[in-house]
């Protein structure tokens, strides 16, 4: 039997991870540039959460601010990358440009942690905010908040894609960038909004992370492995595939590793490596991921 | 820190980074393999250096089997120090064995990594390598018996027999090894092989259609540069006298070398060499002269990534081809300089 | 009018020569679409064969199947008595069968000299260990440089030797494409639109180079080309493809006289 804390951890983790994986995939599809700064953008907002908590406020008040912070950074990154792309910079150069942002945010987080350390006399290099959380039905609130946020955001996003004019234009841009711009769609505007939205989404889910998990400035680098694995399992270029991939990776990292660790206790420490193993196997054995499997299944009928 | 120590420090760091950036240039600048996970073989080299020579020496000198190299690190290292100080032959042998084992391991690992890597488009190859390296770093940090885990581990110095000069002994060895590796790369890149690798970078299908086994060559390129990077890991570990796997970060051992290469001139070994030189000097002076930055309200080490980012940004915007851009030799020049014939 | 000029390339086709390339019942599909359906044809030694057909008739697919880019779903391909079906591209080249691309695909950031030199086969300096032994590859390389200058003279790009391939004009790229194949000293060349987008004067020059190469080295050619007005007078034999099927073959005179084929072409 799986103990409740493990199950809860897996659930909270999968809500956060699947949102992040979806955002990463969306950015990749729209610009064909993997955003290496993505995880760091997401976790920059954790320090906002920490600040609010230290000021005696509930950590959930961060959410709108985290959305704006993540969105703003992501928007600037988009502007920089698309500026370089218009000048004919290669894919290598564009990925380096995302690294530029990764480094600045990473350093910024550390500087801010130093600052918090001097102001609040705490060690901000590593922290967890679970003590600031409250309970609903004797379960931690973050479970419900992350679940509701994640489900409603995906629902909102899907409705927007299907129902609104903006969504139709965005699907056209995702389908074929150059064709869409020929047909008079303002791709620049669409993508700016999309990147802002996706960055905000990342910031939002990142801000919830320290309410359950231990946080340090390196979490971005570690989580990037899980995000990448989720996208690979999802099929690299499928938004809903990556959502599913997020759940699969989160559950294998937490639940499957837990089950193995009953017999081999040392495995538990290597949770974050599990996802890399899955990603490697998925890349070799089913390069088109879940999306590919579903397509095959549909095609077969 | 005396001036001679500072100069020695800069030179050895420059050597290690020169090996790394030239290996990167061999992959990216010449063959066009987009690898952001440079530090994978470096970590492998460091881990083996942490694990192997100390334990070998324990066996050779018959040290109490109740002591463990990792768990009783301080005790064992001090015993080994007294033994190895009077045994230059064994010291050098341990160094040679470590280098050989790492070279072989990394060659095989590079060869194996090519199988998933060559199936992927460039951008996902980069991500795959980055994530694989980050995973290896996590493994190293979580496994205490391998390389001391988070706390790290003290290792032997193969030049203890030089007494007070053991640090310089390792430095000189590093410099010599680097010179050999630079000459090796220069000779390879100046030969028809360099041209072949560049043709693969330019157009894989065309290279295939003129009879080149593109995947085979890319696999060997990866394996070879993995081998050299592994050696850089060994040299770095012996230089530091300790291995802390957590310290092999993507910023220090992948992004900085990338910047050095891009600033210097991708595809041009001399440019890459100069770029490395300039940036290493800048970084070391910043680290060594930390206390001159007292006016900053935060630790100066965080200023480094920002500086790196700004320089990268400026280079990408204003001079994406680097200070010394790649240049094809004219045929007259080629015949005279490389073939050493009068045309 | 056309028949009067046909004599240029016909002197060899009358002789009985053994087939160099044999394509036996080759099919290739993409999904459920047949790009090639049961194609069988032969190319005799020292001959110039033309492959024509409207867009999408499968000409380039056939070249890709022969050169190893695609693996045929069905059928066999023999070159010089050797089964090359489904061989990797670089191994096909080793048998002496080389190809060019419809859109010239040079090594853009290498200069013309390097573009040609890299095409040498079995260069000892191209091995990872071999490259270290300069004495060993120096003389091979010297031979390559001499050969390169001959090739440059043949294709008339001598003054462009140090120019980056990315800076050449369209016609010069077509010549470079031909030069690259020549460096490999092949027994047969597959040329995908060697005069596509080239002005008629240069086109005629390229085609007469091809005749010269055939006469001098005994190389065979399979040429895919649309511009029949120029190319017809240079070839020995013509195959016509339509919708993945081989619908006609014959000497240029035969094909020119069969008016119904023009309808296929124009359709």
Query: pLDDT at residue C165 above 70?
Result: yes
Between chains, do C131 and B194 touch, taking CB under 8 Å as contact?
yes
Q: A188 exposed, middle or buried (CB, 10 Å; 0-12, 13-18, 19+)?
A: middle
pLDDT band at C15 (very low <50, low <70, confident <90, very high): very low
User: Residue C77 belongs to what H/E stretch?
Assistant: strand C74-79
CB within 8 Å: C128 and B224: yes
Give the three-class secondary structure for A221. Answer: helix
Q: How confident is the model at residue A8 (pLDDT cuts 50, 70, 90)?
A: confident
In this model, does residue C50 exceed pLDDT 60?
Answer: yes
**Chains adjacent to A (≥3 CB pairs closer than 8 angstroms):** B
C-alpha B228/C-alpha B243 separation (Å) is 19
Tell me what the pLDDT averaged over chain A comes to: 83
Q: How far is B311 from chain C (nearest CA, A)?
A: 26
Residue of A88, A99, A117, A237 best to disrupt the B interface, most CBs of B under 10 A: A99
- Judging contact as 3 or more Cβ pairs under 8 Å, the answer for C and A is no
Looking at residue B30, what is its pLDDT?
Answer: 94
Average pLDDT over residues B185-191: 92
Distance of CA A58 to the CA centre of its chain: 23
pLDDT category of residue B5 using cuts at 50, 70 and 90: confident
Per-residue model confidence (pLDDT) at position A219: 82
Report the sign of the C-alpha dihedral through residues C197, C201, C205, C208, in that order: positive
Q: How far apart are the first and last CA of chain A?
A: 37
What's the domain range around A177? 4-218
Residue C192 φ/ψ, nearest 5 degrees: -95, 105
Q: Please indicate whether, in this complex, the C-beta atoms of C123 and B192 are within 8 angstroms of each other.
A: yes
Please name the member of A92, A118, A225 whose beta carbon is closest to the beta carbon of B134: A225
Judge whether A104 is closer than 8 Å to chain B, CB to CB: yes
Q: Is residue A68 part of a domain?
A: yes
Question: Mean of the pLDDT values across residues B328-336?
Answer: 85
Test A222 with B134 for CB contact under 8 angstroms. yes
pLDDT tier, C266 (very low <50, low <70, confident <90, very high otherwise): low
Nearest chain B CA: its distance from A110 CA (Å): 7
Chain B partners within 8 Å of A95 (Cβ): 34, 36, 123, 126
Summarised one tens digit per residue, pLDDT across range A238-266 is 888 888 899 999 999 888 888 888 888 88
Q: How confident is the model at residue C4 (pLDDT cuts 50, 70, 90)?
A: very low
Task: Note whether A269 contacts B: Cβ–Cβ < 8 A.
Answer: yes
Q: What is the DSSP track for B80-132?
A: HHHHHTT-HHHHHHHHHHHHHHHHHHHHHHHHHHHHHHTTS-HHHHHHHHHHH
**pLDDT (average), residues B310-326:** 88
Distances, alpha carbon C129 to alpha carbons B83, B224, C137, in Å:
39, 11, 11
pLDDT, position A235: 81
Q: Is the CB of residue A224 less than 8 Å away from at least one CB of chain B?
A: yes
C153 to chain B, any CB pair closer than 8 A? The answer is: no
Residues of chain A with Cβ-Cβ distance to B139 below 8 Å are 270, 273
Q: Which residue of B has its CA nearest to A269?
A: B142
Can you read off the two tokens belonging to residue B218? 């890319």
How many beta-carbon pairs under 8 angstroms link B with C? 124
Within a 10 A sphere around the Cβ of A131, how many other Cβ atoms? 7
Q: Convert the pLDDT of each residue in A198-234 to its tens digit.
A: 899 899 888 888 888 888 777 888 888 899 999 888 8
* Of the partner residues B192, B211, B335, the one whose CB lies closest to the CB of residue C131: B192
- Look at residue C17 in the predicted model and tell me its pLDDT: 67
Q: Note whether B59 contacts C: Cβ–Cβ < 8 A.
A: no
Which residues, at least 6 apart from A244, have a Cβ–Cβ distance to it below 8 Å?
A18, A233, A234, A290
Give the burial string for C6-41 (b: 16+ CB within 10 Å, else e): beebbebbeeeeebbbbbbebbbeeeeebbbbebeb
Task: Kindly state whether A78 is in contact with chain B, defined as any CB-CB distance less than 8 angstroms.
Answer: no
Please check the confidence at residue C101 and state whether its pLDDT lies above 80: yes
The mean pLDDT value for B272-298 works out to 81
Q: Which residues of B touch C138 (CB under 8 A)?
A: 339-341
pLDDT band of C14, cuts 50, 70, 90: very low
Which residue of C lies nearest to B212 if distances are taken between CA atoms? C90
pLDDT tens-place string over residues A108-126: 888 888 888 888 777 766 7
From C144's Cα to the closest Cα of chain B, the distance in A is 11
- The chain-wide mean pLDDT, for chain B, equals 89
> Could you tell me if B206 lies within 8 Å of chain C, comparing CB atoms?
yes
DSSP B63: -
Q: What is the crossing angle of helices C170-183 and C134-155, to 10°?
A: 130
Look up residue B25 and give its DSSP letter.
Answer: I
CB pair distance less than 8 Å for B28 and A279: no
Q: Measure the CA–CA gap between B337 and B321, rounded to whole angstroms.
A: 25
- Residue A260 is predicted with a pLDDT of 87
> What are C27's strand-pairing partners?
C74
Mean pLDDT of C112-131: 92
H helix or E strand, kind and range, residue C23:
strand C19-30
Evaluate if residue B343 carries a pLDDT over 70: no
Spell A37-53 as b/e; 16+ CB within 10 A means b.
Answer: bbbbbbbbbbbbbbbbb
pLDDT of residue C236: 92
Closest by Cβ to C131, choosing from B193, B206, B208: B193
Cβ count near A135 (within 10 Å): 9
Across the range B38-42, mean pLDDT stands at 94
What band does A153 get if pLDDT is binned at 50, 70 and 90? Answer: confident
Contact A221 B250 (CB under 8 A): yes
Look up residue A217 and give its two tokens.
């400035």
Tokens representing residue A224 in the block: 């990037």
Given this model, what pLDDT does residue A258 score?
Answer: 86
Q: Report CA dihedral (B9, B13, B14, B17) to the nearest 10 degrees.
A: 180
Task: Give contacts of A 156-215 with B, CB under 8 A.
Answer: none
The predicted model gives A165-190 an average pLDDT of 77
C-alpha torsion angle, residues B198, B201, B204, B206 (rounded to 10): -40
How many domains does one find in chain A?
1
C162-179 average pLDDT score? 90
In a domain, A258, yes or no: no
B270 touches B278 (CB < 8 A): no
Cβ <8 Å between C110 and B202: yes
Given a cut of 70, is residue A300 above it in pLDDT? no
The answer to whether C260 contacts chain B (CB < 8 Å) is: no
| Structure letter (DSSP) for residue C21 | E
Q: Which of A34, A114, A270 sits opposite B123 (nearest CB)?
A: A34
Comparing alpha-carbon positions, the chain C residue that sits nearest to B206 is C105
Where b means 16+ CB within 10 Å and e means fewer, C185-195 reads: ebbbbbbbbbb
Nearest residue of B to residue A220, measured between CA atoms: B134
B316 to chain A: closest CA residue: A93
Most confident of the following: A207-211, A286-290, B180-184, B311-315: B180-184
CA–CA dist C150, C217 (Å, integer): 13
* Predicted confidence (pLDDT) at residue A49 exceeds the cutoff of 80: yes
Residue A20 has pLDDT above 50, yes or no: yes
Query: How far apart are alpha carbons B326 and B189 in whole angstroms?
Result: 12
Point out the residue among B119, B130, B305 whose CB comes nearest to the CB of A287: B119
| Nearest C-alpha in B relative to C121 | B211
* Cα–Cα dist B94/B207, whole Å: 43
Q: What number of CA atoms fall less than 13 Å from residue A206's CA on the CB side?
A: 35
Give the one of B195, B213, B335 whose C-beta lies nearest to C145's C-beta. Answer: B335
Between B194-203, B212-221, B305-314, the lowest mean confidence (pLDDT) is in: B305-314
pLDDT band at C23 (very low <50, low <70, confident <90, very high): very high
CA distance linking residue B230 with residue A72, whole number of Å: 40
Judged by a CB distance cut-off of 8 A, whether residue B320 touches chain C is no
Mutate to test the interface with B, among C114, C115, C146, C189 (most CBs of B within 10 A): C114
pLDDT tens digits along B101-149: 999 999 999 999 888 778 777 888 888 899 899 999 989 988 888 888 8
Tell me how many helices (H) and strands (E) chain C has: 9, 10
Q: Test B328 with C164 for CB contact under 8 angstroms.
A: yes
| Residue B1: band (very low, low, confident or very high) from pLDDT cuts 50, 70, 90 | low
Contact B211 C88 (CB under 8 A): no
B29 touches chain C (CB under 8 A): no
Q: Using an 8 Å Cβ cutoff, are C179 and C209 in contact?
A: no
What pLDDT score was predicted for residue A29? Answer: 84
Residue B342 has pLDDT above 90, yes or no: no
Q: Tell me which residue in B198, B331, B339 faces C113 most closely, judged by beta carbons.
A: B331
Rounded Cα distance between B58 and B216, Å, is: 41
Q: Is A33 in the B-facing interface, judged by CB distances under 8 Å? A: yes
For chain B, give every domain's residue range.
3-248
Q: How is residue C109 written in tokens?
A: 């950031």
Instruction: Using DSSP, state whether C108 is helix, strand or coil.
Output: coil
Which site among C60, C87, C89 would you substitute to test the B interface, given the most B Cβ atoms closer than 10 Å to its Cβ? Answer: C89
Q: Sort out which chain A residues have CB atoms less than 8 A from B316's CB and list them.
A: 84, 89, 93, 96-97, 100
B205 touches chain C (CB under 8 A): yes
Q: Contact C109/B198, CB-based, under 8 Å? A: yes
Q: Is residue A300 situated within a structural domain?
A: no
B328:C121 CB<8 A = no
Would you state the pLDDT for residue B305?
Answer: 84
For chain C, the average pLDDT equals 87
Question: What are the structural domains of chain C?
Answer: 3-106+186-266 (3.40.50.300), 110-167 (no CATH)
Give the model's pLDDT for residue C228.
Answer: 85
Q: Is the ipTM of this complex over 0.90?
A: no
């Amino acid at each position: 039997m799986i103990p409740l804390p493990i199950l809860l951890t897996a659930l909270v983790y999968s809500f956060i991870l699947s949102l992040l994986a979806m955002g990463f995939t969306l950015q990749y599809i729209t610009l064909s540039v993997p955003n290496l700064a993505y995880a760091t953008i997401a976790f920059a907002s954790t320090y906002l959460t920490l600040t609010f908590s230290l000021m005696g406020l509930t950590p959930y008040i961060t959410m709108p601010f985290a959305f704006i912070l993540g969105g703003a950074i992501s928007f600037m990154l988009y502007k920089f990358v698309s500026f370089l792309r218009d000048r004919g910079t290669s894919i290598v150069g564009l990925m380096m440009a995302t690294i530029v942002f990764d480094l600045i945010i990473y350093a910024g987080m550390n500087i801010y942690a130093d600052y918090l350390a001097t102001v609040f006399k705490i060690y901000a290099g590593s922290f967890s905010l679970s003590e600031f959380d409250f309970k609903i039905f004797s379960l931690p609130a973050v479970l419900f908040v992350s679940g509701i946020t994640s489900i409603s955001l995906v629902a909102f996003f899907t409705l927007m894609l299907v129902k609104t004019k903006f969504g139709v234009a965005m699907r056209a841009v995702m389908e074929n960038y150059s064709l869409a711009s020929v047909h008079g769609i303002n791709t620049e505007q669409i993508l700016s909004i999309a990147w802002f939205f996706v960055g905000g989404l990342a910031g939002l889910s990142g801000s919830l992370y320290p309410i359950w998990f231990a946080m340090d400035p390196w979490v971005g680098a570690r989580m990037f492995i899980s995000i990448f694995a989720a996208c690979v399992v999802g099929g690299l270029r499928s938004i809903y595939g990556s959502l599913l991939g997020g759940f699969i990776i989160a559950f294998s990292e937490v639940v499957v590793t837990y089950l193995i660790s009953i017999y081999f206790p040392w495995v538990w420490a290597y949770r974050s490596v599990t996802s890399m193993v899955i990603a490697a196997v998925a890349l070799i054995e089913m390069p088109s991921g879940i999306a590919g499997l579903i397509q095959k299944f549909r095609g077969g009928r | 820190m005396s001036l001679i120590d500072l100069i020695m420090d800069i030179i050895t760091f420059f050597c290690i980074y020169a090996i790394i950036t030239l290996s990167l240039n061999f992959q990216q600048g010449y063959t066009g393999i987009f690898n952001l996970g440079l530090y994978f073989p470096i970590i492998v080299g460091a881990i083996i250096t942490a694990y192997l020579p100390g334990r070998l020496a324990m066996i050779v000198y018959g040290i109490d089997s109740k002591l463990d190299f990792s768990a009783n690190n301080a005790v064992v290292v001090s015993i080994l120090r007294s033994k190895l100080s009077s045994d230059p032959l064994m010291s050098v042998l341990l160094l040679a064995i470590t280098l050989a084992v790492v070279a072989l391991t990394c060659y095989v690992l590079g060869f194996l990594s090519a199988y998933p890597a060559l199936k992927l488009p460039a951008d996902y190859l980069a991500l795959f390598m980055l994530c694989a390296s980050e995973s290896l770093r996590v493994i190293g940090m979580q496994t205490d018996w391998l390389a001391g885990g988070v706390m790290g581990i003290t290792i032997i110095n193969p030049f203890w027999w030089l007494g007070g000069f053991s640090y310089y002994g390792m430095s000189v060895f590093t410099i010599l090894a680097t010179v050999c590796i630079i000459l090796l790369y220069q000779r390879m890149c100046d030969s028809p092989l360099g041209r072949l690798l560049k043709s693969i970078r330019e157009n894989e299908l065309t290279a295939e259609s003129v009879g080149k086994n593109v995947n085979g060559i890319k696999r060997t390129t990866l394996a070879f540069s993995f081998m050299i990077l592994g050696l850089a890991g060994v040299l770095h570990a012996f230089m530091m006298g300790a291995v802390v796997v957590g310290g092999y970060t993507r910023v220090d051992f992948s992004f900085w070398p990338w910047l050095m290469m891009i600033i210097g001139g991708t595809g041009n070994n001399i440019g890459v060499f100069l770029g490395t030189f300039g940036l290493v000097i800048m970084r070391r002076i910043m680290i060594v002269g930390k206390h001159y930055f007292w006016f900053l309200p935060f630790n100066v080490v965080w200023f480094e990534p920002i500086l790196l980012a700004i320089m990268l940004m400026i280079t990408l915007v204003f001079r994406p081809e680097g200070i010394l851009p790649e240049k094809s030799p004219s045929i007259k020049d080629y015949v005279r300089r490389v073939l050493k014939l009068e045309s | 009018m056309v028949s009067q000029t046909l004599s240029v390339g016909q002197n060899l086709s009358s002789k009985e020569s053994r087939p160099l390339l044999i394509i036996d019942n080759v099919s290739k599909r993409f999904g459920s679409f047949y790009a090639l359906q049961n194609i069988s044809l032969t190319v005799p030694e020292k001959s110039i064969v033309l492959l024509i057909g409207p867009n999408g008739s499968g000409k380039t697919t056939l070249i890709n199947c022969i050169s190893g880019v695609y693996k045929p779903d069905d059928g066999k391909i023999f070159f010089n008595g050797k089964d090359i079906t489904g061989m990797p591209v670089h191994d096909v080249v080793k048998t002496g069968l080389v190809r060019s691309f419809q859109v010239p695909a040079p090594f853009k950031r290498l200069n013309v000299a390097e573009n040609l030199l890299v095409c040498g086969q079995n260069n000892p300096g191209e091995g990872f260990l071999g490259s270290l032994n300069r004495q060993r590859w120096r003389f091979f390389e010297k031979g390559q440089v001499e050969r390169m200058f001959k090739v440059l003279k043949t294709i008339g790009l001598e003054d462009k030797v140090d120019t980056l391939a990315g800076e050449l004009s369209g016609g010069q790229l077509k010549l470079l494409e031909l030069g690259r194949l020549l460096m490999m000293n092949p027994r047969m060349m597959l040329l995908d639109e060697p005069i596509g987008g080239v002005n008629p004067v240069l086109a005629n020059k390229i085609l007469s180079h091809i005749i010269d190469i055939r006469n001098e080295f005994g190389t065979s050619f399979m040429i895919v080309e649309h511009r029949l007005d120029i190319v017809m007078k240079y070839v020995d034999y013509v195959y016509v493809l339509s919708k993945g099927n081989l619908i006609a073959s014959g000497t240029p005179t035969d094909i020119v006289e069969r008016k119904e084929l023009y309808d296929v072409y124009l359709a």
